[in-house]
Structure 1
Amino acid sequence: MTRIAVVGGNGQIARLLHPMLLGAGHQPVALVRSAEQAAALEATGVETRRLDIESEDAAGFAAAFEGCEAVVFAAGGGPDGNIERKRTVDLEGSLKSIEGATGAGIRRFVQISAIGVDEPLGDDVEPVWRAYVEAKRDADAALRASALDWTILRPGRLTDDPGTGRVQLGADLPRGDVPRADVAEVVAAVLESPSSIGRQWVLVEGDSPVAEAVAAAAG
């Protein structure tokens, strides 16, 4: 059994990911902010540890990762219009997770980012969206520059539609939608795929079963 730390462990994608990891014989370790979140997840067989992404430092992240073999960064500041949280959660949360994983001796790291964040931003871009894109862009750059065994997934517009189990994965794809459930399934799949290490992929809905899409993109 592999323990997999999930930062943002109560998020929408994370809650879909946990049962997939359990079904594959792993133990998800959800890092959550409140006792209420922890109790709900523990009732489903998920191990939880308390972590406030914004207030904790990298040493605290390393302590929360103790005993884990991989980290999934699935946190996000959310669509709350709060520019500051794009920095403290989406960027600094990722940076502290990277440093914490390194400090804990963990090499495997999967990060959920967003499509198109390397594209230039026009002068008329709304400030909150600019902050979000820049946070994701800089977090991805920091992970690529690290010594970790990383995979970066950049999903298109997330939907709550039922997962189809079929996706497109590639270094550069047209914008599109993708169900959160399918993003979770791809995260679970790349954790099982050593050939996905060092890869950054756009992820949108498609026609290929997840396992085949991961194998083809990695090939």
Structure 2
Amino acid sequence: MRIVIAGGHGKIALRLERLLAERGDTPVGLIRNPDHADDLRAVGAEPVLIDLETATVTELTEKVMGADAVVFAAGAGPGSGVPRKDTVDRAAAGLLADAASLAGVRRYLMVSAISVDDGPAPDAEPVWAAYVRAKKAADDDLRERSLTADWTILRPGRLTDEPGTGRVWLAPKAEHGDVSREDVAAVLVALLDSPATIGHVLELVGGNTPIAEAVASIGG
């Protein structure tokens, strides 16, 4: 499969690209910084330059043409302010959905965040509150695209760089907890292979269930 990944140099994306390449897929990472291209090549991914904050839908459609699926793993990242939470975490996700639709690519995996439907706490720090609102808006937009997108939304808990355990808790609602980026990437690979997870919003934290079994338990 040819899988186009927005946010191709992110910590989850690089792990996902490596896993996809190792099993014979063709991962394509969308990046805006040309200096990151060699990092993608090192894990077996094809780097493609595009800035999701300035690109037109036509430009992005050209990049996703011929893909079997797209994955939104982009984020404004630490240190970014309120405006970029909207332009990256919300608007870029919608742009990718528009481009995928125009290119005829239905499968869309969204990397979101746990409990964003609850909204930010009343006393939340402003940038964090903007992030939560942006992720919820992006998820809501994708959920409204059922006629044009075979979507699955994955909402991990607090991300860590610990080695993956291969065991998780994956469910429509999970308690807050940690999950390694390595395990998130492995779950994304499994979701790509599981049509039964289309139309599901799934929360993910570390747990005791092997990833294949956890994904297989999600009904259609």
Does 2:163 align with 1:162?
Answer: yes
Q: How many residues align?
A: 218
For 1:13, the equivalent position in structure 2 comes to 12
User: What SS class does the counterpart of residue 120 from structure 2 fall into?
Assistant: coil
Query: How far 1:40 moved relative to its partner?
Result: 2.6
Unpaired runs of 5+ residues, structure 1, are none
Question: TM-score, normalized by length of structure 1?
Answer: 0.96
Match of 2:153 in 1: 152
Report 1:18-29 matches (<5 A): 18-29=17-28
Q: Distance in 2 between matches of 1:118 and 1:209?
A: 27
1:172 matched to 2:159? The reply is no
Distance of aligned partners of 1:100 and 1:123 in 2 relative to their CA distance in 1, 3 Å threshold: same
Unaligned runs of 5+ in 2: none
Q: CA RMSD in A?
A: 1.2
Q: Which residue of 2 aligns with 1:211?
A: 212
* Structure 2 residue matching 1:28: 3-state secondary structure: strand
Post-superposition offset of 1:81: 4.2
SS of the equivalent of 1:101 reads: helix
Structure 2 Cα separation of the partners of residues 122 and 164 of structure 1: 31
Measured in 2, the distance between the counterparts of 1:116 and 1:59 equals 33
Compared CA separation, residues 98 and 17, structure 1 to 2 (3 A):
same
Letter in 2 for 1:70: A
Per-residue Cα deviation, 1:59-99 (whole angstroms, up to 9, x for no partner): 22111102211000000111214111100110011010010
Q: Which runs of 4+ in 1 moved over 6 A?
A: none
Identity %: 47
Q: Deviations over 1:26-85 (max 9, x none)?
A: 100011112221123124321121111111122221111022110000001112141111
Distance 1:165 1:184 in 2: 10
The superposition leaves residues 168-202 of structure 1 with CA deviations (integer Å, 9 ceiling, x where unpaired) of 11111111110000000000000011111111100
Question: Hey, what does 1:100 align to over in structure 2?
Answer: 99
1:45 partnered with 2:40: no
Q: Distance in 2 between matches of 1:211 and 1:145?
A: 28
